[in-house]
Amino acid sequence: WGSDRFIEWRLYLWQDHLYLSKNNSLGSLAERMGRRWSLMLSALLNVIGGAGSAAAPSASLFLCARVICGLGIGVGSTVAGLWVAETAPTSLRGRLLSANTLFANLCFFLTSLASLALLSVSWRWLVGLSTLMAAIQLLAMIFVHESPRWLLSRGKEQEALQALTNLRRCST
């Protein structure tokens, strides 16, 4: 594949480009699909990209898999905050959005520590771990409600009321 430094440079270049190039198309995706399904798509892209990265037999397939991961990260980072903002009670909204950012950065830090801990093991294990975490997120999304605001924007008033009732754990 070439020198390790060159591969790292290309990988970081692609990831930075994909992460920074998220734009209104991701927001419109969330508008069309809904917040819940967009987050599920994000997790699915990360499962596919993580597994592809860990098993890639060549640098070009590895980079393709990382592009898929980058798309998943872009969708997830855009839509997660939107979902929290639309579903959280006003009194908790700021704290929950801050927690979302805090935990995202904590994950970056823990990933760095894990990469140090796994220096003696193949890098594929570390990349493969992302697949496990994304699969857990995908399964957890089955139990998450759609944003009542999005449901209302689609004229689904009864579903929106049910989702809000479930989110607030109150009776109608």
Q: Please report where in the chains the tokens 């992460």 appear, as a residue.
A: 19
The token pair that represents 162 in the structure block: 């049910």
pLDDT in tens, 6-65: 555 556 555 555 555 554 456 677 888 899 999 999 999 999 999 999 999 988 898 889
Longest C-alpha distance within the chain, in Å?
A: 63
Confidence of residue 140 (pLDDT cuts 50, 70, 90): very high
| Contact present, 131 and 46 (Cβ < 8 Å) | yes
Cβ-contact 15, 70 below 8 angstroms: yes
**Range ranked top by mean pLDDT from 3-7, 87-91, 127-131:** 87-91
pLDDT digits (tens, 9 = 90+) for 108-126: 788 778 778 777 777 788 7
Q: What angle do CA 34, 68, 85 make, to 5 degrees?
A: 30
CA 121 from chain centre, in angstroms, equals 26
